[in-house]
Amino acid sequence: MYYDSQEHVYFADTLPDATGGHWTLSLLESDKLDQATLKQLTEQYKGRSIVIVYTGSLETDDEIEIISSEFVKDADTYAN
């Protein structure tokens, strides 16, 4: 979890999957960094799993569009 002062957005990075790929998710726009907000977002999302439905090719990382995303307690429930 981190705040990007140039984009004015709080971001979360997922842990890499088996192939080393990961997602960077924008969570909240804000004019400036607020440590209380960063702490709250970290507590809310750290350790959670996310299910992402997308179109596009992960092989080429080209024109990927996230259709939906959902934070869940147990991502194994959603595994193919």
Domains of the chain by residue range: 1-47, 48-80
Confidence of residue 78 (pLDDT cuts 50, 70, 90): low
Which of 23, 24, 30 lies closest to 3, judged by CA? 30
What CA–CA distance (Å, rounded) separates 25 from 79? 20
Mean pLDDT (the chain, rounded):
87
> What does the pLDDT look like over 50-60, one tens digit per residue?
888 999 887 88
Query: What's the mean pLDDT in 12-31?
Result: 90
State what percent of residues in the chain have pLDDT above 90.
49
* CA distances in angstroms from 31 to 2, 8, 10, 25, 34, listed in the order given: 14, 6, 10, 18, 9
